[in-house]
């Protein structure tokens, strides 16, 4: 192979993952970012690496964040994702004290439902409760009370048939949970700052005469111990899609090409020939539908940028999504620091 073509081929292996009709190529892993089979770049250069890393915020809401993580390999991106899922702490109901439960839901099933309710409280303000600690304190526990009794609605119309009209407190929602400050928490946290994230989560259904009388203690934990402590509803990433038209595609073929991709990926310039162009490859789901058409498949090159990750994070509501990513990065940095200190200690010993 000619040196110029070889260099171009190695560059593509380094930068792109190619999607073919029946296979995906250039999927080889690397020992460190930007290394690849046949590379002559030498050892890992931290200065070169840090200059190539960047984070671009694409969209940000209170509970949702989309950003691009560029210049790293999959190991780093996946580490961030796993830390978001399992190692960023949050507050969740750990103990449920049942004083009275005459509903149809058993105590243990009800306790499990309560444990999965996301709690609006900043976990950074609390400590971890010690395993041998039976009673909580203001530093490590949030307490809620839930006391509801279903009764007949005396003012209901005579022809009413709906339970919500016939009964009072037929449905028990998270809005019925009352925060009970522990110690001096009432002075530390403003009213409304500690509560279930969503007030309209259905906890139970009651019939007249049935009672729920509970106390719930929330503690600090991480998703690695139980999924209820995971602060994200979802955290995932994908490689940035790239679509290259190797030949002009016009006329009816252009419209057929547009139908092969998600809405907004392929545009058509309205002229005498209706020529297709790539409008926004980011929207592509990489379905490879285009390979089903013999007159199109050789005119399109599908690939993904190897070191460009599109990250999506959705918070459960305890903390903003952007804050969760920041906390996850702190955990990742601490892991790196601990590993470096361990390696330095082993070298000295």
- Are residues 79 and 339 in contact, defined by beta-carbon separation less than 8 angstroms? no
- Confidence category of residue 213, pLDDT binned at 50, 70, 90: very high
Q: Do domains 12-86+234-312 and 90-230 have the same CATH topology?
A: no
In this prediction, residue 201 has a pLDDT band, given cuts at 50, 70 and 90, of very high
Q: Hey, which residues does 276 pair with through a beta bridge?
A: 268
DSSP state of 246: S
Locus of tokens 């016939």 = 166
* Exposed/middle/buried for residue 295 (C-beta within 10 Å: 0-12, 13-18, 19+): exposed
Q: Which CATH architecture has domain 90-230?
A: Beta Complex (2.170)
Q: What pLDDT band is residue 15 in, cutting at 50, 70 and 90?
A: confident
| pLDDT range class, residue 346, cuts 50, 70, 90 | confident
Residue 14 CB neighbour total at 10 angstroms:
19
pLDDT in tens, 215-261: 999 999 999 999 999 999 999 999 999 999 999 999 999 999 999 99
Element (H, E) at 165: helix 163-166
pLDDT tens across 324-333, in order?
Answer: 999 999 999 9
Tell me if 312 sits within 8 A of 61, measured CB to CB: no
Question: Does residue 348 surpass a pLDDT of 80?
Answer: no
- How confident is the prediction for the chain on average, in pLDDT? 89
Average pLDDT of the residues in 116-145: 91
Provide the pLDDT for residue 28. 74
- Predicted local confidence at residue 154, as pLDDT: 87
Domain boundaries, the chain: 12-86+234-312, 90-230
Amino acid 308: pLDDT: 93
Q: What CATH topology corresponds to 12-86+234-312?
A: Gyrase A; domain 2 (3.30.1360)
| pLDDT at residue 98 tops 70 | yes
29 or 342, higher pLDDT:
342
pLDDT one-digit tens code per residue, 295-306: 999 999 999 998
As a whole-number percent, the residues of the chain with pLDDT over 70 amount to 92
Average pLDDT, stretch 277-296? 93
Decide which of 311 and 43 is more confident. 311
| Amino acid 270: pLDDT | 86
In this prediction, residue 29 carries a pLDDT of 67
Strands 16-19 and 24-25: antiparallel
Query: What does the pLDDT average to over 263-277?
Result: 90
Query: Residue 132's pLDDT is what?
Result: 81
Q: What digits encode the pLDDT tens for the residues 17-43?
A: 889 988 988 887 666 665 654 555 556
* Residues paired with residue 172 on neighbouring β-strands, in sequence order: 204
* Among 295, 296, 282, residue whose Cα is nearest residue 243: 282
Is 285 or 48 the better-scoring residue by pLDDT? 285
């Amino acid at each position: 192979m000619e040196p110029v073509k070889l260099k171009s081929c190695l560059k593509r292996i380094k930068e792109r993952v190619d999607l073919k009709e029946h296979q995906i190529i250039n999927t080889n892993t690397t020992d460190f970012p930007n290394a690849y089979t046949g590379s002559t770049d030498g050892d890992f250069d931290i200065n070169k690496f840090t200059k190539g890393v960047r984070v671009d915020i694409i969209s940000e809401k209170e509970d949702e964040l989309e950003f691009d993580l560029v210049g790293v390999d999959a190991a780093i991106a996946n580490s961030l994702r796993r830390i978001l899922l399992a190692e960023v702490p949050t507050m969740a109901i750990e103990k449920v004290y049942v004083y009275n439960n005459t509903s149809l839901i058993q105590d243990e099933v009800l306790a499990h439902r309560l444990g999965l309710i996301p709690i609006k409280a900043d976990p950074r303000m609390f400590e971890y409760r010690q395993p041998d600690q039976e009673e909580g304190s203001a530093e490590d526990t949030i307490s809620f009370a839930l006391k509801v009794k279903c009764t007949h609605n005396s003012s209901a119309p005579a022809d009413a048939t709906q339970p919500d009209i016939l009964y009072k407190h037929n449905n028990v929602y998270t809005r019925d949970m009352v925060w009970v400050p522990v110690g001096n928490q009432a002075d530390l946290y403003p009213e409304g700052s500690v509560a279930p994230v969503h007030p309209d989560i259905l906890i139970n259904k009651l019939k007249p005469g049935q009672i729920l009388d509970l106390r719930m203690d929330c503690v600090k934990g991480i998703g690695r111990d139980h999924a209820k402590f995971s602060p994200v509803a979802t955290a995932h990433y994908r490689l940035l899609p790239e679509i290259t038209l190797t030949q002009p595609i016009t006329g009816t073929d252009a419209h057929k090409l547009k139908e092969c991709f998600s809405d907004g990926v392929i545009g058509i310039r309205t002229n005498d020939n209706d020529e297709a162009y790539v409008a926004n490859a980011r929207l592509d789901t990489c379905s490879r539908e285009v390979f089903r058409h013999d007159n199109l498949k050789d005119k399109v090159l599908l690939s993904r940028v190897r070191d460009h990750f599109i990250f999506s994070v959705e918070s459960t509501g305890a903390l903003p999504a952007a804050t969760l990513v920041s906390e996850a990065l702190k955990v990742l940095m601490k892991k790196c620091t601990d590993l470096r200190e361990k390696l330095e200690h082993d070298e000295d010993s």
